[in-house]
Structure 1
Amino acid sequence: MNRIKPLPGYMVQRYHGWRATQYSENQAWYKRLADEGQRPRAMIISCCDSRVQATQLFGADQGEFFMHRNVANLVPPFEPDGQAHGTSAALEYAVTALKVAHVVVLGHSHCGGVQGCLDMCSGNAPELEDNSSFVGRWMDILRPGYDRVAGKHEAADLPAALEKEGILVSLENLLTFPFVVKAVEAGDLALHGVWNDIGTGSLYAYDSDSDGFVAV
């Protein structure tokens, strides 16, 4: 483990700043979270992208959201094959153990993962087609979405269209999990899809009546 290095100095400095301010001012709340455990109201499935911070976007307090992040905020279909499934495991824990009331799939503009899917599916990223590409195999989840939007939009509009379609793919895949369907049908769980335009700060939510995304 001699290749593992200490934290960068700026991270250490910021930690001490947080400890002296936010933590110090809310120490009783942090102690309560530690002693009583977490009771998040919602699970947020968002992208790894550093520009998307769900807690800031929704003004969430510590302990309010159960967070899961992956490339392009995708949910795979239900596949109990004995392999390691990080997203599925997080979803199972959130729904069956934490009993969250909401699962929110949060997509965003200018998503690098979605652009990778566009490039791969259009034949412009052969490196992602290789079986050794973790990103490529992960973006296979989005192929059905690409098939639905390809040829229906101008080239400039295609990335945003696929970003939103990816949210719908994830919502569809959520409903392949038996424990999700059970909680939804019992009225204990609601599913939501939202898309954030990073540059404008706008948020759009999927509306099933209009089958589209409308401004919040």
Structure 2
Amino acid sequence: MPIRPLPEYLVRRYHGWRATTYNENRAWYRHLADEGQHPRAMVISCCDSRVHVTSIFGADSGEFFIHRNIANLVPSFQPDAGHHGTSAAVEYAVRSLRVAHLIVLGHSQCGGVKGCYDMCEGHAPELDESTSFIGRWMDILRPGYETLPPGDDAERIEALEKAAVMVSLKNLMTFPFVRQAVEDGRLTLHGLWHHIREGTLEGWDPERGSFVTL
């Protein structure tokens, strides 16, 4: 099998982490190991390496249950025999961990959203191929593309990034156990959008019907 040892720079970083962060918080890590995880919130974010969820919120180990995928998308409830990684993560967070908050975090300059935009505009035929995993995943966002207002490409792509958050929140409510938890007051849903360059965070305000700067 073509498996190689970990690059040396990552090994050095690990030893640095264990000598500092771990040693300084050894009791907390042992508590997490002995008592299990009890996160208060689940965050569904993009795989983008520039979106550092724990840093944005100053979160400690054990505080967030984090699931990352292309463009922070949640598919609609589909009870079949397929492999549904995102759906499984949501089920575990809501039913087993009983998180109190479920946050969908989108961001600026999202490559997945840009790919969906190009595909829907007819500029990325490779994503329309049935063999494209990215294209078929981004089909989840097609309803968001249909709602885009007129404007230039940059404005529409940013609007689609925020639509990805809203599509995911809407799809979350198709899961019976999510809907029940929300209706029972055990779970709240939140939509956020992070501007990478500016470091700002916007949240969906249902009263205004728009994202507002936090």
TM superposition score normalised by structure 1: 0.98
Residue 148 of structure 1 aligns to a residue whose secondary structure is: coil
Give the letter for the 2:150 counterpart: K
Give the match for residue 183 of structure 1: 181
Quote the offset at 1:92 in angstroms.
0.1
Equivalent of 1:161 in 159, 162, 170: 159
Give the letter for the 2:72 counterpart: N
Give the letter for the 1:28 counterpart: A
Quote the offset at 1:82 in angstroms.
1.1
Quote the offset at 1:215 in angstroms.
0.4
1:73 and 2:72 equivalent? yes
- Quick one: distance in 2 between partners of 1:156 and 1:71? 20
Equivalent of 1:192 in 184, 190, 193: 190
Quote the offset at 1:56 in angstroms.
0.3
Give the match for residue 61 of structure 2: 62
1:19 and 2:1 equivalent? no
1:76-95: per-residue Cα shift (whole Å, max 9, x none)?
00001110100000000000
Quote the offset at 1:184 in angstroms.
0.2
Identity of aligned pairs, percent? 63
- Quick one: distance in 2 between partners of 1:196 and 1:10? 30
RMSD over equivalenced CA pairs, Å: 0.6
Give the letter for the 1:201 counterpart: G
TM superposition score normalised by structure 2: 0.99
1:24-81: per-residue Cα shift (whole Å, max 9, x none)?
0000100000000000000000000000011000000100000000000000000011
Q: Note the 1:135-150 alignment, pairs <5 A.
A: 135-149=134-148
Q: Note the 1:1-216 alignment, pairs <5 A.
A: 1=1, 3-149=2-148, 151-216=149-214
Quote the offset at 1:11 in angstroms.
0.5
Q: Which runs of 5+ in 2 are unaligned?
A: none
Quote the offset at 1:196 in angstroms.
0.3
- Quick one: distance in 1 between partners of 2:80 and 2:173? 18
Residue 153 of structure 2 aligns to a residue whose secondary structure is: coil
Structure 1 residue runs of 4 or more that deviate by more than 4 Å after TM superposition: none
Quote the offset at 1:155 in angstroms.
1.9
